[in-house]
Amino acid sequence: MATSWDAVIIGAGVNGCAIAYNLAKRGLRVVILDKTDVCAQASGQNGGGVRQSARDPRELPLAMLSVSLFSSLAEELDQDVEYVQAGNLRLCTTSEQETAMRAAVAQQRVDFGLDVRYVDRGELEALNQHLAEWVVGASYCPTDGHANPLLTTYAFARKACELGAELRTGETVTRIRLSRGTVRSVVTDREVYSTGLVINAAGIGGRAVANMVGLDFPMTPVFTEVLVTEAREPMFAQMIGTASSDFYGHQTTHGSFVWGGFVGYETFLHDGHHGGTQRPNYPEVASAICRTVLRYFPGLGELNVIRTWGGLIAQVADKVPVLGPVPEVPGYISATGFSGHGFGIAPAVGRVIGQAVLGETPDVDLSPFTADRFGPVH
Ligand SMILES: Cc1cc2nc3c(=O)[nH]c(=O)nc-3n(C[C@H](O)[C@H](O)[C@H](O)COP(=O)(O)OP(=O)(O)OC[C@H]3O[C@@H](n4cnc5c(N)ncnc54)[C@H](O)[C@@H]3O)c2cc1C
């Protein structure tokens, strides 16, 4: 006879584990299933940015909730997750960028009350003494920051398990069975899990999982890369981005710099020339990211790169997730499609999906994230 579970979570990335933690904390019998392992995909590959600034307005309330939860996460999960709340600087190099950035921060301040402002070159120099002369100013959000994604994900997983959740790795979900349109069980390559509630937190596998219940939405994997340098004495603690979005990153608490970015090459490589989605990363891309970083931080030229890696972003057509219950399929909840910025909002995702499961009003309105925003779901 199949074991019965209150909830089956597909995917042991940061979002699946954060959801499991929130459900286990509320007394639900939960199992997390992953075809590989904890942190096997995007949650083990990302740049660690915890950012509210420059978020899509639909996602900003989630990002603001998440920042408030990150402040006490170490205490809550009994694990230092290397959370540093030292602000985010989004650097501008032209007067056109400055004009657009001033307008963007004004809107985020007025519409959402976010503590963000434009800082000109003089104030910027007081915040960060290492910038090249061509940087004219930046947006500055003092409550943004960064954290260690592996420590955070494992901390959620460990705490969920301490609270009674089960984690089963190396097990692939192949089917979700419905009865009269309602979730009844989850089938893997090993076992059948009887449940009335399945949560799709499968990252880039999320579209295939949605297809198992007859849903579809436009989501594609997009390849992106990260590099880490050798350690250096502390230089600056802010998370860095640019108005041109040509790179992002920060100096970790260990002294290494983690820099990530696209150079435009990856999409071309992704489109079939090198064997689909299972490619390694490419040395040309790391070199290009380094050249860009040095245009903004010329003093880092002596640092050696010690490791590079790539990962796939679960990119939805409008770049915000598909999040929440789907009324057409009772018992199915979506938590996928985080489109390259789903680490920073994971604590909030865990909280609001937990609230939705328990029939409470989520702290953040989930209506902008419905599966049917692209058209009928079936
Ligand atoms: C290089 C890179 C840099 C990034 N930088 C940042 C950043 O700085 N800040 C930020 O906020 N975000 C960043 N992101 C995005 C962030 O990493 C993701 O949005 C987030 O980790 C998604 O977490 P997740 O739990 O939803 O999915 P994932 O971590 O991808 O986990 C999904 C899991 O589901 C499992 N799975 C899939 N299908 C099945 C199946 N059928 N059966 C069983 N298991 C299955 C997979 O094995 C996987 O472990 C970055 C992403 C990349 C790739």
Residue 344's DSSP bridge partners are none
Instruction: Say yes or no: CB of residue 261 within 6 Å of ligand 1.
Output: no
pLDDT at 360 over 80: yes
What is the residue-wise DSSP string for 100-115? HHHHHHHHHHHHH---
Ligand 1 atom closest to residue 204's alpha carbon, by position in its atom list: 30
Ligand 1 atom closest to residue 48's alpha carbon, by position in its atom list: 8
Q: Which two tokens stand for residue 193?
A: 């899990």
User: Chain-centre distance of CA 11, in angstroms?
Assistant: 14
Nearest Cα residue to atom 14 of ligand 1: 340
Crossing angle of helices 149-162 and 346-357, rounded to 10°: 30
Whether the Cβ atoms of residue 209 and residue 173 lie closer than 8 Å to each other: yes
Looking at residue 273, its pLDDT comes to 43
Q: In which band, very low, low, confident or very high, does the pLDDT at 272 lie, cut at 50, 70 and 90?
A: very low
Ligand 1 atom closest to residue 18's alpha carbon, by position in its atom list: 25
Instruction: Say yes or no: CB of residue 198 within 6 Å of ligand 1.
Output: no
Pocket test for ligand 1, best of 35, 70, 88 (most atoms within 8 A of CB): 35
What is the residue-wise DSSP string for 166-232? EEEES--EEEEEEETTEEEEEEESS-EEEES-EEE--GGGHHHHHHHTT----EEEEEEEEEEEPP-
Looking at residue 282, its pLDDT comes to 72
Instruction: Say yes or no: CB of residue 347 within 6 Å of ligand 1.
Output: no
User: Over the stretch 299-313, which tens digit does the pLDDT of each residue have?
Assistant: 999 999 999 988 889
Q: % helix / strand / coil in the chain, to the nearest 5?
A: 35, 25, 40
Closest CA to 31 of 192, 166, 173: 166
Q: Which two tokens stand for residue 370?
A: 């419905």
- Domain segments of the chain as ranges: 3-49+150-218+318-374, 84-145+220-313
CA count, 13 A, side-chain hemisphere, 177: 12
pLDDT at 224 over 90: no
Ligand 1 centroid from CA 18, angstroms:
12
CATH architecture of the domain covering 3-49+150-218+318-374: 3-Layer(bba) Sandwich (3.50)
Residues sharing a CB contact under 8 Å with residue 247, sequence separation 6 or more, in sequence order: 240, 241, 259, 260, 261, 289, 292, 293, 296
Instruction: Say yes or no: CB of residue 169 within 6 Å of ligand 1.
Output: no
Pocket test for ligand 1, best of 43, 247, 281 (most atoms within 8 A of CB): 43
Same CATH topology for 3-49+150-218+318-374 and 84-145+220-313? Answer: no
Instruction: Say yes or no: CB of residue 209 within 6 Å of ligand 1.
Output: yes
Q: 84-145+220-313 adopts what CATH topology?
A: D-Amino Acid Oxidase; Chain A, domain 2 (3.30.9)
Averaged pLDDT for residues 10-38: 98
User: Over the stretch 124-152, which tens digit does the pLDDT of each residue have?
Assistant: 999 999 999 999 999 999 999 999 999 99
Averaged pLDDT for residues 74-78: 98
User: First and final CA of the chain: distance in angstroms?
Assistant: 31
| Percentage of the chain modeled with pLDDT above 70 | 94
